[in-house]
Structure 1
Amino acid sequence: MSNTLCPCGSQQPLSHCCQPIHQNPALAIHPEQLMRSRYSAHVLGLVDYVVATYHPSCHAEDYRDAIADSVNSHWLGLNVINSEIAPSGEGFVEFEAYYQDGDEQYCLAERSRFLQESTDGVAQWYYIDGEYPDQAHQSEPELTPHSVPLQPIANPDKIGRNDPCLCGSGKKYKKCCG
């Protein structure tokens, strides 16, 4: 497995990229590292890791089944657009994650927010929430070798908790009308 490229798109071996963070999330010293490791965990089916890296205030354990459904999707590629740590100490990562459901391919575009908490003197980043960027102001995505053309997520009969809310607020369904 040491020669396997990391699913996060870094072009680094998994064993030198996200795998150590999967074993110890505190090794992610920047929110982008945590976001990439969470994407890789989706590809690798690591539900426990995804649940553990939600901020404690999210009560992710209560949503384990829905998170497992998301993790068990067929993930195709990741494109990180921007990442930053704001003066407030919050971290932000804007990305596009591509996945396939049946014969359809989709793009989850999000600006994720991360918070850093210290426990016993050890700082760790956690995913807290995310917003969907205004599609009208987005340029065409820069496709990576693993990504697919951008297609809308718009099946109201099968809306997931992480899909954009149908009301058009720009928030995730779970944080809005869900």
Structure 2
Amino acid sequence: MNHKPCPCQSHKSYAECCQPFHQHTATPLTAEQLMRSRYSAYTLINIDYIVETTLPSQQKHLDKPAMQQWAESTKWCGLEVIAHNPKFAKNRATVEFKAYFETEQGMAEHHELSLFVYKEGKWFFVDPNV
């Protein structure tokens, strides 16, 4: 997996891109890097990383078994980053993206404008469902 292309489609290898974040040897420097690493974590069924990179006050409200089931049952097909606004507000950034996946009815997409907050030297995803 180390030399294979990164699932986030950054045109880098997994070892050069998201793996250091997943192994906690590096920290995403931008909200876009965090979003890409979270997408890769879903494709690799690394739910602990998804939880760890969600805003700490929201983590206890996440349904890890449901997240695990969704990641395992989804055939991920690609990621398209549409826009990254690193200065949305003080200590906040947004990333608009489309994540593509296959369903029984064919190809589908999840289109989202995500909010991220920079807190204690790290970027975190703000889950609008919590």
CA deviations 1:138-159 (Å, max 9, x no partner) are xxxxxxxxxxxxxxxxxxxxxx
User: How much identity, in percent, do the aligned residues show?
Assistant: 35
Q: Which stretch of the first structure deviates more once superposed, 65-74 or 76-85?
A: 65-74
- In the other structure, the counterpart of 2:96 is 94
Q: Unpaired segments of 5 or more residues in structure 1?
A: 131-173
- In the other structure, the counterpart of 1:47 is 47
The two structures have a TM-score, normalised by structure 1, of 0.66
- What is the one-letter code of the residue matched to 2:103? D
- Pairs within 5 Å for 1:21-40: 21-24=21-24, 27-40=27-40
CA deviations 1:38-72 (Å, max 9, x no partner) are 00011111111111111112135641112212322
Question: Does residue 111 in structure 1 map to residue 113 in structure 2?
Answer: yes
What secondary structure is seen at the aligned counterpart in 2 of 1:17? coil
Q: How many residues align?
A: 128
Instruction: Give the whole-Å Cα distance in 1 for the aligned partners of 2:26 and 2:3.
Output: 24
CA deviations 1:94-113 (Å, max 9, x no partner) are 00000113343210000000
Higher share of residues assigned strand: 2
CA deviations 1:98-142 (Å, max 9, x no partner) are 011334321000000011111xxxx11110035xxxxxxxxxxxx
Q: Is the 1:51–1:67 contact (alpha carbons within 8 Å) kept by the matching residues of 2?
A: no
Considering Cα pairs closer than 8 Å and 6+ residues apart, tell me whether 1 or 2 has the greater RCO: 2
Aligned CA distance change for structure 1 residues 18 and 117 (closer, same or farther; 3 Å): same
- In the other structure, the counterpart of 1:76 is 77
Instruction: Give the whole-Å Cα distance in 1 for the aligned partners of 2:116 and 2:122.
Output: 10
What secondary structure is seen at the aligned counterpart in 1 of 2:9? coil
CA deviations 1:71-103 (Å, max 9, x no partner) are 221111000000122242201000000011334
Q: Is the 1:92–1:111 contact (alpha carbons within 8 Å) kept by the matching residues of 2?
A: yes
- In the other structure, the counterpart of 2:123 is 125
